[in-house]
Amino acid sequence: MTRVMSDEEAEEYILAMLREAREPLLTREIEERMHRMDGQCPDSSVRFLNRLRLQGKIKGKLSIERRGWIWWVERE
């Protein structure tokens, strides 16, 4: 059974993951990485990611070519 992370833990983990990534990540890729460390977003991943997007903490948009939503953080 995977563990449901707390809001703060999931946010920190996702921000770090997106900062390190060389290109925007698909929802599926984020989910897979979280599963690899036995974690799960407190909400469904898209809902959680969307919440971070609406709070302005990450960027996200639909990519028809990549068949899903892609997520990234702006570099300073």
Partner 1 sequence: MPLTPEQVREHIPFLEKYVYLDNGATTPVPLPVQEAMSAYYNEYLANVERGAYSVAHEAHERFERARENAAKLLLGCEPGEFVFTRNLTHASNIVAYALEHPLLTTKDGTFTLSEPLVDWKSGGKKNIVGTMLEHHSNTMPWLRLAHHVGAEYRVVRPSNDMVLSPDDLLEAVDGNTRFVAFQHVSNVLGSIHPVREITRALKEAYPDIMVFIDGSQGPGHLPVDVKDIGCDFYGFSGHKGPLGPQGTGGLYIRKEVGERMDPMEVGGGMMADVTLEGYTVRTDAVGRRFDAGTPNIPGMIGLGRAAEYVAKDIGMDRIDERERHLAQRLIGRIKDLPGVKIYGPENPEHRGGVVTFTIEGWLCHDVSNALDDGWRILTRSGHHCCLPLARWLGTIDRYGGTTRASMGYYNMEREVDLLAEALESLTGG
Q: Which residues contact 11 (CB under 8 A, 6 or more apart)?
A: 52, 57
67 interacts with partner 1 by CB under 8 A: yes
Integer CA distances (angstroms), 51 to 23, 27, 59, 72, 75, in order:
21, 13, 11, 14, 20
Binding mask 46-65 for partner 1 (x = CB under 8 A): xx--x-----------x-x-
Coil, helix or strand at residue 69: strand
- Give me the least distance between CB of 68 and partner 1, in Å please: 4
2 interacts with partner 1 by CB under 8 A: no
Residues within the interface to partner 1 (CB under 8 A): 27-28, 31, 44-47, 50, 62, 64, 67-69
